Amino acid sequence: MRELPELFESFSEARKQGFLTMKSLKEQGAGVAGTFCSYVPVELFFAAGVIPVGLCSTSEETIPEAEKTLPRNLCPLIKASYGFAVTDKCPYMYFSDLVVGETTCDGKIKMYELLGDMKDVHVMELPRSQQKESSKALWLSEIRLLKAKIEETFKAGISDEKLHEAIRQRNRERSLLKAVYELSTLKPPPMTGLQQLQILYGAQYKFNHADKVKELEETISRIKEEYEGGKRPVSARAKRIIVTGCPMGGATEKVVRLIEESAAVVVAYENCTGAKQYDRQVSEGGDPYKALADYYLDIGCSVMSPNPNRLELLGRLCAQFDADGVIEMLLQSCHTYAVETHRIREFLKARGLPFLSLETDYSAGDTGQLKTRIAAFIEML
């Protein structure tokens, strides 16, 4: 078996090396669909033999170019994603035959309009309620519309049999990624939060499902083997932190680094990069379209109102991982998460859990301020 550092780095390198991988796949005739959000049911792409890839950019490199068109006081994720598209610097956007968006926030909706001048863009109408029967019916119809769009674009039929198989494959991947982060319920955890993030974030850029499953299984086995052999990469005295809020990865890894430089360790990510995507499974029986609709509509994103599923998952993770505190990472101008901060704070206060909310962007300019606030919070625990 490969050494753990090599395995961790394999996931970290997956996104960086994706240009060559994607270029090779396209030369072999593969269809590619770019997505921006956890709400998009990727099983439909699997069933059509299409490769889904995440398009959310997490670097400030192209933001100045994006700001020639977009307002400066817009979420950095939106500006970076548009900037990489307009400058042709994102290989995933470049090779995407179809881009699928969703109406999660007003900024992204308007950005999709501009993106439509460059790419074939299909936008899913996401309800803002998870309880109403009309919302469930709308989301089911949107999933069927996406199925039709995929079949039309890629000239590939999606049978119920293929979709059931795609659901089983994706469930297997989810269960393995959940098994990865649940290893950190151990005391002390067998990996740092940054290493865990390397796997969770990087796994989406490994495009061969069988190889990905095999590598995840190998990684889990190797971590357990080394831990049982006495290896302890994290101090037993490190404070155990749950991260919540906006998606992590790329430039926002600075928050994780600062937490772990302050005598703490991130044991779990509640956000879209972590448990929010992998905590549950899609039902493998009955109507596959209804199963997908039920699963994806129940994601506990702050765009939902009310949003009890985020609170339920966060509370469960805090208990499961025996958290000492919770740190929320907000991207500037992400209004739904910013407004929801008050409810998260009150929820955790009632459970006696310390909470810190941080607002940041993709630049390194606020690193000193973040370091001071994080260090003070950890010292207080």
Do 219 and 122 fall within a single domain?
no
CA distance 348 to 318: 9
CA distance 181 to 11: 14
132, 158, 184 — which closes off a domain?
A: 158
The phi, psi pair for 266, rounded to 5°, reads -80, 115
Burial class (CB in 10 A: 0-12, 13-18, 19+), 6: exposed
Any idea which residue has 């198989």 for tokens? 165
Do 228 and 82 fall within a single domain?
no
Residue 86 one-letter amino acid: V
Do 151 and 172 fall within a single domain?
no
158, 186, 203 — which closes off a domain?
A: 158
Residue 282 one-letter amino acid: V
Count the neighbouring beta carbons within 10 Å of the beta carbon of residue 89: 15
CA distance 84 to 91: 9
Burial class (CB in 10 A: 0-12, 13-18, 19+), 311: middle
CA distance 98 to 150: 8
pTM of the model: 0.95
Do 258 and 227 fall within a single domain?
yes
Residue 37, domain extent: 4-158
Do 281 and 195 fall within a single domain?
yes
CA distance 46 to 207: 11
Do 233 and 110 fall within a single domain?
no
* H runs (alpha helix) in 87-192: 91-95, 106-115, 133-154, 160-182
Query: What's the structural domain count of the chain?
Result: 2
pLDDT at 1: 62
Count the neighbouring beta carbons within 10 Å of the beta carbon of residue 168: 14
Contact 77, 57 (CB under 8 A): yes
Do 250 and 168 fall within a single domain?
yes
Contact 279, 182 (CB under 8 A): no
CA distance 60 to 229: 42
Rg (CA), the chain: 20
What strand order describes the sheet that includes 264-269? 264-269, 239-245, 325-331, 355-360
Which portions of the chain are predicted below pLDDT 50? Answer: none
Contact 128, 109 (CB under 8 A): no
CA distance 30 to 154: 10
Which of 175-206 are b and which e, b meaning 16 or more Cβ less than 10 Å from the residue's Cβ? ebbbbbbbbbebebbbbbbbbbbbbbbbbbbb
Of 311, 316, 309, nearest to 328 by C-alpha is 311
Count the neighbouring beta carbons within 10 Å of the beta carbon of residue 380: 10
What CATH code is carried by the domain that includes residue 132?
A: 3.40.50.11890
Of 191, 161, 193, nearest to 43 by C-alpha is 161
Contact 187, 322 (CB under 8 A): yes
What CATH code is carried by the domain that includes residue 205?
A: 3.40.50.11900
Contact 267, 239 (CB under 8 A): no
Contact 67, 87 (CB under 8 A): no
Do 376 and 306 fall within a single domain?
yes
Do 187 and 58 fall within a single domain?
no
115, 134, 158 — which closes off a domain?
A: 158
CA distance 229 to 226: 5
* H runs (alpha helix) in 156-274: 160-182, 193-202, 209-228, 253-260
Do 183 and 145 fall within a single domain?
no
Q: Which own/partner contact pairs does 158-162 have at CB distance under 8 Å and 24+ positions apart? A: 158/44, 158/47, 158/48, 159/47, 160/288, 162/47, 162/48
Do 249 and 366 fall within a single domain?
yes
Pairing of strands 355-360, 325-331: parallel
Do 100 and 166 fall within a single domain?
no
Contact 328, 341 (CB under 8 A): yes
Structure confidence by residue, pLDDT tens digits, 322-369:
999 999 999 999 999 999 999 999 999 999 999 999 999 999 999 999
